[in-house]
Amino acid sequence: MSQIDNYLQLQGAITPEFQQSLSASDAMDLLKAGNDRFVAEEPVKRERQALLNGASNGQAPFAAVLGCIDSRAPIEELFDAEIGDLFVARVAGNTVNGDILGSLEYACKYAGSKAILVLGHTQCGAVKGTYAQLEDGNLTGLLQRIEPAVTAIRSEVGDNPSDAAIDRCVASNVDLVCDRIRKESDILRTMEADGAIVIAGAIYDVATGKVSYR
């Protein structure tokens, strides 16, 4: 029986035993299968009280997802995930700083998650703001972290980007954030090199609900 089948037969929250039985590739397969169910409108739901009862005894999420705050990209829903399934960090532009890195280190090293997925999305407002070189309050520093993903494309296509150009920036930002996680976290880089986790990127299409992997 596949780990996807085992997951679908869970009656309550994920247990440490189930989490520990997963490989890094299993965790990615669970994310991919969950999005397939979401797109097909075939969610598999577990009984709420059983989830709460299990979660009250601890947590064993199989993956951590770093996503944008965008209201059109509800992380658990788009992966057909339940209470206790995922660690979720959300910040405009799904960028990374020390606090996010520390959270991801906790998720993987101390709480056993097997995958980190950096999830960008189409039509990202933070990327558009970066492209327009917006400066305002605390947004200024946040958008500066996204700027490296935008600079080359802005110089190529000019100051008035097409939707396709913005989506290229979104994809570049996802790739650069994955690279930054590896570069700026010795813990996570070593865990990935050892095969304990995978660090991957993906793009969520807000029009179709489909996640495409990098």
For the segment 87-114, what is each residue's pLDDT rounded down to a tens digit?
Answer: 999 999 999 999 999 999 999 999 999 9
Could you give phi then psi for residue 27, rounded to 5 degrees?
Answer: -60, -40
- Quick one: which of 172, 153, 155, 164 has its CA closest to 214? 172
Query: pLDDT, tens digit, for every residue of 120-168?
Result: 999 999 999 999 999 999 999 999 999 999 999 999 999 999 999 999 9
* CA distance between the termini of the chain: 28
What mean pLDDT is reported for the chain?
Answer: 97
Output the pTM of the full model.
0.96
SS3 22: coil
> Letter for the amino acid at 100?
I
What are the b/e assignments for 2-24, b being 16+ CB within 10 Å? ebeeebbebebbbeeeebeebeb
Burial class from Cβ neighbours inside 10 Å (0-12, 13-18, 19+) for residue 28 reads: buried
Can you give the pLDDT at residue 65? 98
The sign one gets for the Cα dihedral 72, 75, 80, 83 is negative
**DSSP β-bridge partners for residue 67:** 90, 119
Residue 1 above 90 pLDDT? no
Distance CA 132, CA 200 (A): 28
Across the beta sheet with 115-121, what order do the strands follow?
Answer: 86-90, 63-67, 115-121, 198-204, 211-213
SS3 213: strand
CATH code of 3-213, in short, is 3.40.1050.10
Q: CB 140: neighbour CB atoms within 10 A?
A: 12
SS3 162: coil
Can you give the pLDDT at residue 190? 98
Give me the residue spans of the domains in the chain: 3-213
